[in-house]
Structure 1
Amino acid sequence: MHEAAPRRIIVGISGASGAILGVRLLELLRELDVESHLIVSKSAQVTLAYETDLKLKDVTDLADHCYRSDDMAACISSGSYRTLGMVIAPCSMRTLAEIASANSSSLLTRAADVVLKERKRLVLLARETPLNLAHIRNMLAVTEMGAIVAPPVPAFYARPANLEQMIDHTLGRVLDLFDIDTGGVKRWSGSSRHAQLPPANEDGDA
């Protein structure tokens, strides 16, 4: 009888804007008693300094285990090391392209490749706009490989009062993909205002 996979999630923070997404994900995993394995790319360290007042150590201290991006002998570089999967938050277009082409030039993309080959969950919070055709093709490629592209798009129906609420809702929906409930997602349960909506015109449009 197979035992359930340990509650471990690999967290990658790449150099796209939005480093706070990865930081907050680490905080949530700690609150939920989920073991975190962190990789911070060199570009992400630069972005972290630009976008926050946090030092690298502040971030690594949030993780249960942390690895250098060039540590190709780390446990998470092997499919025999069991995890629930991996989240890259945020995921730069460069990182996306490397995953799409199975280019394991760093531990970040090697770990992602391992998660895919082991048929585990890989969630990519792709951060770029507008998108060019190469970005879209790479998103298609990783989706066909089994990854989930989940751009950090705010859910305005939740009526977030601040950036923190927007981030928590986004990450709550990400962790839903691992069947982990943060308890902080404002879930849609249908509208109670049907009668107040304007009638559709003859073409069926509102």
Structure 2
Amino acid sequence: MTTTPRRLIVGISGASGIVYGLRLLEILRAVDVETHVVVSSAAKVTLALETDRTLADLQALADVWYATNDIGAAISSGSFRTSGMIVCPCSMRTLAEIANGITGSLLPRAADVVLKERRRLVLVARETPLHLGHIRNMAAVTEMGAIVYPPVPAMYAKPASIEEMIDHTVGRVLDLFDIDTGTVRRWRDAPDEPGGEPNGV
């Protein structure tokens, strides 16, 4: 019997916080996980607004890259085996599409496939404040089996920089796939302090 490859789908939507998606891909490359990446049209705009990185830089981080309108892509089929999918960041539009089964482009289609195959789907939902429609969509995807993971900074880890906060969040997201990146300061990890520092409960 063959095992599922160390292969993850990564979707990047147009929500603010595209640096989380970039860092996720960098870390996955470092831990030797094969990435299959699809980026929404809005994400390309966000990339230009929030970073000095180019689309070519983003593509270079992916093992396999798909156009958002490629409805025949491997990740649009349940027979293509993966460990699941992370949408990072996940806009409220993308969340709504997934919650309501609207699969007009490859990103929500791939997420829909992950759900129907009962694989793990993690949505790094980026928006605040939330209105009732957002909350209902979060409840809907949770009932369908997805995990909603807002990128909330872990201040108890006493991060010294924005980069440390991002790495901790990305590391905790990958914990959900049993991928240890070495970027998470875990409960009682600090050896130089009695009891260590809290890192989640």
Which residue in the other structure is 1:15 paired with? 14
Which residue in the other structure is 1:197 paired with? none
Deviation larger for 174-183 or 184-193: 184-193
Report deviation, 1:93. Answer: 0.1
Report deviation, 1:171. Answer: 0.5
> Using the alignment, how far apart are the partners of 1:127 and 1:30 within structure 2?
24
> Using the alignment, how far apart are the partners of 1:19 and 1:175 within structure 2?
17
Which residue in the other structure is 2:146 paired with? 147
Secondary structure of the structure 2 residue equivalent to 1:125:
strand
Which residue in the other structure is 2:59 paired with? 60
Secondary structure of the structure 2 residue equivalent to 1:161:
coil
> Using the alignment, how far apart are the partners of 1:119 and 1:47 within structure 2?
31
Which residue in the other structure is 1:170 paired with? 169
Which residue in the other structure is 2:27 paired with? 28
> Using the alignment, how far apart are the partners of 1:53 and 1:103 within structure 2?
32
Secondary structure of the structure 2 residue equivalent to 1:87:
strand
C-alpha distance after superposition, 1:3-37 (max 9, x if no partner): 22100000000000001111110000100000000
Secondary structure of the structure 2 residue equivalent to 1:123:
strand
Report deviation, 1:70. Answer: 0.4
Which residue in the other structure is 1:202 paired with? none
Where do residues 21-170 of structure 1 align in structure 2 (5 Å cutoff)?
A: 21-170=20-169
- Which ranges in structure 2 are unaligned for 5 or more consecutive residues? 196-201
Report deviation, 1:188. Answer: 1.4
> Using the alignment, how far apart are the partners of 1:4 and 1:156 within structure 2?
38
> Using the alignment, how far apart are the partners of 1:125 and 1:68 within structure 2?
21
> Using the alignment, how far apart are the partners of 2:106 and 2:183 within structure 1?
31
Deviating beyond 6 angstroms after TM superposition, the runs of 4 or more aligned structure 1 residues are none
Q: Which amino acid aligns with 1:6?
A: P
Q: Which amino acid aligns with 1:122?
A: L
When the two chains are superposed, the root-mean-square deviation of aligned CA atoms in Å is 1.2
Secondary structure of the structure 2 residue equivalent to 1:37:
strand
TM-score (norm 2): 0.93
Secondary structure of the structure 2 residue equivalent to 1:82:
coil
> Using the alignment, how far apart are the partners of 1:58 and 1:172 within structure 2?
22
> Using the alignment, how far apart are the partners of 1:22 and 1:32 within structure 2?
16
Percentage of identical aligned residues = 67
Q: Which amino acid aligns with 1:127?
A: R
> Using the alignment, how far apart are the partners of 1:66 and 1:26 within structure 2?
12
* Count of residues in Structure 1 that have an aligned counterpart in Structure 2: 192
